[in-house]
């Protein structure tokens, strides 16, 4: 991760910080009050009991040396049975290195929290834990917290009920593969294609789009596939052949795979058990008549609107990068039908270790659910409740990556209820899994939280309208309360790795929600209060940076955000920073990238006059290679935030 450390004394700028913030008073209050969100939800919270029964399983794990060479690739395919009480057992076929497959069985423990986060012993690597997420369509995850240079992707789908007749596929499945034949990076390849059932046991001819490390320098290529067939057993397990001949020689696909279909027929997974095969196949049943608005986790309008976000996980391998780019990740994103996804991801990378990322990805969908997300080709399926993606682009020829996502289970409760999936940044709105940080402005979403709307002026009180929020049993300063949302500040004393959040209202206590904690979790405010688009950024004369008055190369601009953690000198919870002295952030390294180019951070600390509001004064790069609307990224030692833009000429 690229980090720059460039500080200078900021005394000369204190005057215009204060003046600028005075002019922003109404705007900041509008941001804080303008993120009122969701109304009632219609389900229950989750626990171990909800993950029970038999699932089909595919896991691929890449063990590497420090240079990124594959030294210990492993893969497992089979079935796993969860007992609903925190224990599982599995059976299947494992391939290790370039060896033949062997029968494998074992057991382990798992724990499902109320939001659907799952900590699960890795079936492939003893001592490792899969950072998984549970949704109605699938269980998915990656061992982001495991030690050593191992990077993986795990997917499990519910097994169909056994019947007299074997399942018959219908419709089309948007399908992705990631393969390392022979356990070799030199043979890396990934694809995306449509698997459409033509008749019982047969697929229609199709074109696979993809790229391979040993073909055309990694540039995108295609392959025509004819005569593909499948055969299912009564339990939903089966085999697939791409009809590539006896040798299975192919630039993009292994010939034969084990294949499995989910209980509702919406998802298929698979993989090969041939000697040295390390691959994974994931397909989702395609939607029809899709537009960008189809990818929308919300239903209903106004107070009755219900929004449910999506889990996601992926595996990426790029040995050709200057620093080998090998990554496993698990996260979540929100989709609101607007052509952009707001992601939060927990990354484990070879070069940078573990860190948290929030960012925006633009997407475009075709009527059949195919489309693009940035440099990836995608497929939306399962009635809009699942998606797959594969990194295939001439602009990223060295990247071999796939990802899979499923919609979360909707949650609700009676009385004073906090939605475990909806404790979010009040600036970036990153979905579940994004940590909270000391001093951060957050929103707590639920139902029955307060008897009426009420806001407080600074300094923010610990009780407002009969409501108290306890974070690790310490009262949080409250700015705004309502029946469905509370805006509050995380107490500066909050430490992790996790914290508990409880709302007390009218003498009743809510459910307890556990959230991750990090030293920083930057979130730049956006002008339209959506968490993306033009950022809350000012010129030195306190006017907004926008298309009518863009910034210029080398100019110093003021960026307003939250989530930058501890400050010195300290301030009491709920109070604003002062101007003399200024309360500067204590995080050791901060960098700001504008269009990928580093700016110079002159000041990072609290903005005087507004609790929970941080300010960064940044001198833009002297040379902007491609002027226009450019992304602004904040990088700290533990987090990356890349959600808003700035216009630079």
187 is a domain residue:
no
CATH number of the domain to which 430 belongs: 2.60.40.10
Judge if 115 and 72 occupy the same domain: yes
pLDDT digits (tens, 9 = 90+) for 562-579: 999 999 999 999 999 999
33 is a domain residue:
no
Cβ–Cβ under 8 Å, residues 265 and 167: yes
**161-170, 200-209, 340-349, 628-637: least confidently modelled range:** 161-170
Domain boundary among 158, 181, 210: 158
Give the HSE-up count for residue 135: Cα atoms under 13 Å, Cβ half-sphere. Answer: 27
363 is a domain residue:
no
- Cα angle 603, 520, 64 (rounded to 5 degrees) comes to 115
Q: Taking 50 as the threshold, does the pLDDT of residue 4 lie above it?
A: no
Give 24's pLDDT tier (boundaries 50, 70, 90): very low
Residue 281 CA to residue 298 CA, distance in Å, equals 29
**200-204, 257-261, 485-489: least confidently modelled range:** 200-204
What is the mean predicted confidence (pLDDT) over 364-384? 97
Write down the pLDDT at residue 485: 96
19 is a domain residue:
yes
221 is a domain residue:
no
Q: Taking 80 as the threshold, does the pLDDT of residue 246 lie above it?
A: no
Write down the pLDDT at residue 10: 21
User: What percent of the chain lies above the pLDDT cut of 90?
Assistant: 84
Write down the pLDDT at residue 243: 84
CATH number of the domain to which 142 belongs: 2.40.128
Judge if 438 and 529 occupy the same domain: no
Write down the pLDDT at residue 42: 32
| Residue at token pair 């107490």 | 491
Residue 432 CA to residue 453 CA, distance in Å, equals 25
Judge if 433 and 530 occupy the same domain: no
Judge if 637 and 538 occupy the same domain: yes
Structure tokens at 646: 């700035």
| Higher pLDDT pick, 557 / 24 | 557
Query: What is the Cα 640 distance to its own chain's centre?
Result: 12
Judge if 480 and 555 occupy the same domain: no
139 is a domain residue:
yes
Q: Taking 70 as the threshold, does the pLDDT of residue 307 lie above it?
A: yes
547 is a domain residue:
yes
Domain boundary among 478, 495, 516: 516
**31-45, 251-265, 466-480: least confidently modelled range:** 31-45
Q: What φ, ψ does residue 367 adopt, rounded to 5°? A: -55, -30
H/E segment holding residue 21: helix 14-23
Q: Taking 60 as the threshold, does the pLDDT of residue 544 lie above it?
A: yes
Write down the pLDDT at residue 245: 58
Write down the pLDDT at residue 249: 54
Number of domains observed in the structure of the chain = 3
224 is a domain residue:
no
Judge if 526 and 632 occupy the same domain: yes
Contacts of 459 by beta carbon, 8 Å cutoff, 6+ apart: 477, 572, 574, 575, 576, 611
Judge if 538 and 632 occupy the same domain: yes
Write down the pLDDT at residue 136: 97
Judge if 486 and 456 occupy the same domain: yes
pLDDT digits (tens, 9 = 90+) for 220-231: 999 999 999 999
**5-14, 428-437, 471-480: least confidently modelled range:** 5-14
Write down the pLDDT at residue 7: 21
Task: Indicate the pTM of the whole model.
Answer: 0.92
Write down the pLDDT at residue 17: 27
Average pLDDT of the chain is 91
Q: Which of 74, 44, 46, 45 is nearest to 58 (CA)?
A: 74
- Domain extent, residue 467, equals 417-516
Parallel/antiparallel/unpaired status of strands 325-335 and 417-425:
unpaired
Judge if 145 and 54 occupy the same domain: yes
Domain boundary among 125, 140, 158: 158
Judge if 644 and 566 occupy the same domain: yes
Judge if 509 and 527 occupy the same domain: no
Judge if 512 and 531 occupy the same domain: no
Q: What φ, ψ does residue 491 adopt, rounded to 5°? A: -55, 145
């Amino acid at each position: 991760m690229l980090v720059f450390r460039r500080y200078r004394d900021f005394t000369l700028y204190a005057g215009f910080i204060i003046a600028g913030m005075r002019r922003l008073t109404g705007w900041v209050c509008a941001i804080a009050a303008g993120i009122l969100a969701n109304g009632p939800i219609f389900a229950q919270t989750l626990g171990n009991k909800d993950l029970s029964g038999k699932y089909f399983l595919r896991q691929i794990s890449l063990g590497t040396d420090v240079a990124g060479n594959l030294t210990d690739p492993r893969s497992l395919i089979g079935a796993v049975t969860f007992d609903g009480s925190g224990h599982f057992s599995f059976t299947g076929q494992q391939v290790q290195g370039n060896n033949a497959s062997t029968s494998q069985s074992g057991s382990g423990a798992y724990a499902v929290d109320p939001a659907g986060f799952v900590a699960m012993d890795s079936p492939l690597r003893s001592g490792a834990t899969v950072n998984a997420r549970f949704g109605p369509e699938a269980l998915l995850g990656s061992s982001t917290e495991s030690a050593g240079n191992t990077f993986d992707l795990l997917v499990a789908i519910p097994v169909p009920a056994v019947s007299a007749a074997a399942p018959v596929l219908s419709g089309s499945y948007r399908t992705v593969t990631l393969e390392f034949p022979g356990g070799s990076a030199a043979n890396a390849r990934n694809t995306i294609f449509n698997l459409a059932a033509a008749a019982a046991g047969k697929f229609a001819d199709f074109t696979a789009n993809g790229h391979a490390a040993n073909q055309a320098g990694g540039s995108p290529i295609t392959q025509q596939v004819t005569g593909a067939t499948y055969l299912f057993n009564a339990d939903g397990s089966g085999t697939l052949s791409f009809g590539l001949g006896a040798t299975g020689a192919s630039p993009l696909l292994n010939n034969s795979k084990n294949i499995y279909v989910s209980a509702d027929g919406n998802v298929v997974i698979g993989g090969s058990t041939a000697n040295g095969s390390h691959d994974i196949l994931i397909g989702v049943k395609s939607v029809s008549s899709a537009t960008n608005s189809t990818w929308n986790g919300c239903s209903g309008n106004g107070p009755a609107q219900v929004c449910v976000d999506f889990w996601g996980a992926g595996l990426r391998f790029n040995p050709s990068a200057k620093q080998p780019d090998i990554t496993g990740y698990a996260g979540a994103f929100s989709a609101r039908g607007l052509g952009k996804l707001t992601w939060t991801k927990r990354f484990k990378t070879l070069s940078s270790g573990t860190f948290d990322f929030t960012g925006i990805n633009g997407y475009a969908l075709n009527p059949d659910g195919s489309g693009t997300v940035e440099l990836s080709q995608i497929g939306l399926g399962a009635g809009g409740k699942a998606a797959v993606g594969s990194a295939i682009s001439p602009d990223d020829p060295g990247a071999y990556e796939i990802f899979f996502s499923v919609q979360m289970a909707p949650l609700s409760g009676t009385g004073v209820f906090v939605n475990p999936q909806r404790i979010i940044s009040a600036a970036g709105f990153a979905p579940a899994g994004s940590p909270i940080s000391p001093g951060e402005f957050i929103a707590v979403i639920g139902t029955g939280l307060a008897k009426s709307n009420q806001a407080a002026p600074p300094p923010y009180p610990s009780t407002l309208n009969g409501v108290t929020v306890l974070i690790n049993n310490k009262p949080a300063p409250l700015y705004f309360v309502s029946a469905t949302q509370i805006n509050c500040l995380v107490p500066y004393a909050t430490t992790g790795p996790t914290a508990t959040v409880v709302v007390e209202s009218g003498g009743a206590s809510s459910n307890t929600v556990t959230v991750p904690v990090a030293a920083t979790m930057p979130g730049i405010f956006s002008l339209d209060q959506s968490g993306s688009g033009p950022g809350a950024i000012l010129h030195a004369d306190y006017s907004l940076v926008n298309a009518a008055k863009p910034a210029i190369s080398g100019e110093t601009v003021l960026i307003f955000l939250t989530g930058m953690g501890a400050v010195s000198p300290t301030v009491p919870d709920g109070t604003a920073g002062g101007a003399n002295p200024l309360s500067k952030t204590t995080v050791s390294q901060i960098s700001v990238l504008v269009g990928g180019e580093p700016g110079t951070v002159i000041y990072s600390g609290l903005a005087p006059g507004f609790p929970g509001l941080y300010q960064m004064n940044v001198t833009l790069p002297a040379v902007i290679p491609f002027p226009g609307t450019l992304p602004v990224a904040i990088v700290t030692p533990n987090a990356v935030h890349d959600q808003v833009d700035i216009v630079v000429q």
